[in-house]
Structures are given as structure tokens and as C-alpha cells.
Amino acid sequence: MDEQIIEVPQQDYGMYPPISGGMGGMPRMDSKADLLEKIKPELAIETIKQKLMGREWNEQKHEWVPNLALKKMALTEEGATAITNLMFPASSQNVSLSNLKDEEIKKRMLSIIKTAMKMCLDNVHEYGITSSSQYYFIRELIHTNTLVVLKQSENEGIRRLINSTISENRNYNTMGEEKKGGILGLFRR
């Protein structure tokens, strides 16, 4: 595995700027699009890929750099890409907004894990697998990420959260407008 430094385009890996325009410092969420813009489970996939290759994010340089302590467990770029490509469909905004049942979640997660393990066995050298512990590491990583992402969609969890947040913000904004206008504010609607 080479020790090259990988620069990535300026991208935020988890922190998003607040949406401005609300009252009293509260973000204004007028549409589902505002909140949907903030839900990006696929951003975790790039982080997982880099970690699988034994890299860590250097905040000062704004780039992924090799971590020599992880070199022994690192996969090749081909291996890390293959594993994260397998995880990507389950780690998308569309899936997060779905309505999945627990049984569907478990079946999908196990299917992804089984496929990943078969891919690793078939491509041991290409993926840079040198020990059995790497299989367990890959399995646990896929299990954790996929379970968490798919559980967000259980019983429309994220969709209900978005709808309740929008409703709450609209109520808060409406209440603030009424207070501003005094008694006349009631008639401005």
C-alpha cells in the first residue's frame, strides 16, 4: 500500500451550516427540502472508505492522510471502494426516508454482510486482506453503519421527524408573528 496523501474537494463531513432566516435565532424551515438537505447518510460512506484504507482526516490540511498505526489493517483502494459501494445503496437519503419494517431491515443488512464476505473471500489479494481479523472488522463496520441507517427508516422515523419539525417551526413562527402585531396581528393572516 502506497503512502500517498489524498486530497478531497472541500466537503463537510458531518457539520452543516445553520439555515438562516428564522425568528429569535431559530432556523426557519419552510419546506421539507430545507431539512432533506441536512440528511446525508451517504457522507459517512466516504469516511468509511478512507478509514478502510487506513487514513484519517487532517483538519489543518483538510485532507485524508495515511495513519501508519492502521497500515496493517488497511485495505487497498479497490477493496475499500468495493465494500463502500456495496453499502452505498443502503446509506442513502431515499432509504432514510422510507418506511421499512424490522424484518426487512434485518434481511437487507444480512444480505449486504454476506455479499461483502463473499467478495472479500473471492478477492483476498486484490482487497489487501492479510488476516482473518480484517473480515471481522469489515463485517462489524458494515453491520453498524447499515443497521443505524436502515433503522432511521423504521416506521417512517426520519419522515415523521421532518414533518413534526416543520409543523413545530411553523407554529413557532406563526406565534411570533402574532406577538409582533399585537391584537392586529390576529387579523393579518
* Range of the structural domain that residue 106 is part of: 31-155
Q: Are residues 144 and 70 in the same domain?
A: yes
Q: Are residues 126 and 174 in the same domain?
A: no
Torsion sign across C-alpha atoms 52, 53, 54, 55: negative
Q: Are residues 56 and 36 in the same domain?
A: yes
Q: Are residues 69 and 140 in the same domain?
A: yes
The answer to whether residue 18 sits within a structural domain is: no
The answer to whether residue 25 sits within a structural domain is: no
The answer to whether residue 95 sits within a structural domain is: yes
Q: Are residues 125 and 178 in the same domain?
A: no
| Contact present, 180 and 139 (Cβ < 8 Å) | no
Work out the percent of the chain whose per-residue pLDDT is above 90.
40
Confidence check: pLDDT of 34 > 50: yes
pLDDT in tens, 92-150: 766 666 677 889 889 999 999 999 999 999 999 999 999 999 999 999 999 998 888 87
Q: Are residues 184 and 119 in the same domain?
A: no
Confidence check: pLDDT of 21 > 50: no
Q: Are residues 138 and 175 in the same domain?
A: no
Q: Are residues 133 and 167 in the same domain?
A: no
Distance CA 80, CA 68 (A): 17
Provide the b/e sequence for 37-46 (b: ≥16 CB within 10 Å): eebbbbebbe
Percent composition of the chain: helix, strand, coil (DSSP 3-state, to 5): 65, 5, 30
- Amino acid at position 16, single letter: Y
Q: Are residues 145 and 174 in the same domain?
A: no
Closest by alpha carbon to 75, among 123, 39, 113?
123
Q: Are residues 101 and 189 in the same domain?
A: no
The answer to whether residue 188 sits within a structural domain is: yes
pTM: 0.64
- How many domains in the chain? 2
Distance CA 130, CA 114 (A): 19
Torsion sign across C-alpha atoms 98, 102, 106, 107: negative
pLDDT value at residue 86: 94
pLDDT in tens, 47-67: 999 999 999 999 999 999 999
The answer to whether residue 2 sits within a structural domain is: no
When computed from its CA atoms, the radius of gyration of the chain, rounded to whole angstroms, is 22
